[in-house]
Amino acid sequence: MYLKYLSILLILLTSCAPQPPIPSSGHLNTNDINIPKDDIPPLIQQQAFVPVPQPTAILEEFTVIVDAVPVDRLLFALARDANMNVDIHPSIKGNITLNAINQTLPQLLERIAKQVDLRYQTIDNIITVSPDFPYMHLYKIDYLNMSRDTKSEVKVSTQIISDMNKVGGEGGGGGQSSSEQNNSTTEITNESNNRFWETLGKNINTILSSYEIGETDKRVTINPESGLINVYATHKQHKEIQNFLDQVIASTHRQVLIEVTIAEVQLNDNYQAGVNWQRIAGDFVYNQSVLGGDLGTSPFYSFEYKNSNSKFGDISSTVRLLETFGSVKVLSSPKIMALNNQTSLIKVVDNIVYFTTGVEISETETRTRENYTTNIHTVPVGLVMAVTPQISAGNSIILNVRPTISGIISFKLDPNPTLALAGTINEIPEIQTREIESILKIENGNVAIIGGLMQDTTEQNRRGVPFLSQLPWVGDLFSYRNDNYKKTELVIFIRPTIIKNPSLTGDLHEYKDFLPNSSQPDILPQTGFSN
C-alpha cells in the first residue's frame, strides 16, 4: 500500500520539475572536440633578435725570408702554400727582399705591393695580380656647396682738426686757410675665407703631383653640386687620397655648442674696484689682455675654470655668486652651435627708427619760402655675437668670440641753427656700444669668464616748484636735485662643449624637455582677436 503511494508521489514530482534546455545547433558545444593531432600547428619558437655571431676563420700564417727573389716566383710559391689560385699579369717584374715571420697572406701581399708597382684582388679563391695602372675612382664628400668670406673690424680713432688762417702781406694777397690733423687710430681686422671645394681640389692635386703620370688638373673632376670627386690615380695614390679625405671630413664635421651668458653687475659701495674673483673660487686660470677688446675702455681680463665638474662649471650658479658684489642683471644668454672653423652669427636686436629733418630757406622780395625734407634711419640695438671655433685633436677649443651689446642712452637735439630758426626739433639717439673681440683657448666643457669692463653712469633727478624752479639764478632755491651715481661691470661667461652625437637621445638630451609634447594637441597662444 505504501509502495503505491510512494510511486505516485515520485511521478508527480518528476512531472513538476523543469525540463533541461535543448541546445540548438548554433550554440557552442562545451564537450571536448576531438581535433586530429595532425592539424595542430607546432609551437612558435621565438628567434633571437641578434643573430648568433659566426666564428671568424683563422687565417694561416707564413714565414717568408727571401733576398732578391723575382716577384712572380714568390707569388706562385705563396699561392701554392696557401692552396689558392693565382693569375699574374705578364708585365709584373721586379725582385723582392723580404723578412716576414708569422704573417697572413693579405699582410704579405701588402708588403710585396709596396716594393713592386702592383695591385691585387682576391675573388673566389683566385688572386689576381695586375700592374698598378691608374684608374678612375669616385669619392663621396658630404659638404655644403658654399664659399664663405667673413670679415670683422674693431676700430677706435680720435681726430682733432685745427684751422689756422693766414693773412697775406702788403702785396694785397688774399687770406689763406690751412688745416692740420692730429689722428690716433687703432684697428684690428680679422678675415676668414672658406673655400672648401677649391682647397680640397688643390690638396688632391698636390698628392697626385708626386707621381709623374699626367697633368694633375685633368685627373681630378670635382662636382660640388652633387658632392662627388672623380680621381684618376694609381692604387697607392687612391689609398693616400682616401686617408686624407677621411681626416678632412672627420675634422670639418666636428661641431661645438657654445653657451654664452652676458651679465651686468651693479657694484655696491664695498666693491667699487670690481668683482673680487678670488673670493669666488681659486680653481681657475687667470689671463689678462690689452688687445682685442673695446679699446675705449680699460683692458679686460679672463678666467677659465679648470674643473668642469665643480659647482663653478655651472654658469647659472656662478651668476648667482655674483650677487655678493651687487645686483646682477642678465642681459642675454644665447646658445649657438658651430662647425669646426666656421663662423656663426647670432643677432637679437631692435631696429630703432629715427628721422633727420632738413630745412632749406629761400627768400624772395615778397616772401620767405621753407622746404622741409625728412629722411628715415634705423639703428640696431641689442646683441650681436660672432663666434668662430677651432677644435683640436686633443679636444681643446680655440674661440674667436666677438659679442657686441648696444643700447640707447638718450636723445640729442640737432644743433642745426636753420632748424632752430624754423622752430623744428630733431632728436637723434645716442647709442652706447660695449664690445669685446678676443681669442681664447678653452678645454672642452670648461667655462671662461671675461670681465673688467666697468662703466660709471650718473642719473640726474631734479624736482622743484613749477615755474619758480625754472627761473634763472634763483631756480635752484625752489628745486631739489638728487644725482644717482652707479658703477657697473660687464661679465661674460663662455662655455664650449664638443658635440659628438647631435641628437635628443645623444649630447643634446638636456634640451628634450623644452620641446612640445607631440602626443598632446597644440595649444595656440592668445592673439587678442576674436571672431
pLDDT > 90: percent of the chain: 23
Q: Which three cell numbers stand for residue 267?
A: 657694484
191 in a structural domain: yes
Same domain, 89 and 124: yes
Q: Which domain holds residue 74?
A: 61-133
Amino acid in the structure at residue 52: V
Instruction: Give this prediction's pTM.
Output: 0.65
Q: pLDDT tens across 165-178, in order?
A: 444 444 444 444 44
The count of structural domains within the chain is 3
Please compute Rg for the chain using Cα positions. 43
Same domain, 326 and 457: yes
Question: Distance (Å, rounded) from C-alpha 122 to C-alpha 400?
Answer: 51
Q: Which three cell numbers stand for residue 349?
A: 636686436
414 in a structural domain: no
> In terms of Cα–Cα distance, which of 84, 223, 207 is closest to 141?
223
404, 331 contact by CB (below 8 A): no
167 in a structural domain: no
**Cα four-point dihedral sign 303, 284, 327, 329:** positive
Element (H, E) at 153: strand 147-166
235 in a structural domain: yes
What are the start-end ranges of the H helices in 253-324?
A: 315-321
Same domain, 189 and 214: yes
121 in a structural domain: yes
3-class DSSP assignment, residue 485 = strand
Same domain, 232 and 288: no
Same domain, 283 and 301: yes
CA distances from 330 to 79, 257, 302, 315, 490 (A): 74, 20, 18, 12, 10
Same domain, 293 and 395: yes
> Which CATH number is 89's domain given?
3.55.50.30
Same domain, 300 and 273: yes
Amino acid in the structure at residue 188: I
Q: pLDDT tens across 27-42, in order?
A: 445 455 555 555 666 6
249 in a structural domain: yes
Q: Which residues contact 16 (CB under 8 A, 6 or more apart)?
A: none
Same domain, 473 and 397: yes
Q: Which three cell numbers stand for residue 10?
A: 515520485
Same domain, 193 and 335: no
95 in a structural domain: yes
Q: pLDDT tens across 404-439, in order?
A: 888 888 888 877 777 776 677 778 888 888 888 888
84 in a structural domain: yes
Check residue 284 and give its pLDDT. Answer: 47
Same domain, 91 and 150: no
3-class DSSP assignment, residue 69 = strand
Same domain, 397 and 467: yes
Region of 326 on the Ramachandran plot (φ > 0 left; ψ -120 to 50 alpha; else beta): left
What single DSSP character describes residue 420?
H
**Which residue has cell 630745412?**
359
Question: Quick one: three-class SS letters along 489-516?
Answer: EEEEEEEEEEECCCCCCCCCHHHHHHCC
Check residue 166 and give its pLDDT. Answer: 44
Which of 253, 270, 293 corresponds to the end of one domain? 253
Same domain, 322 and 204: no
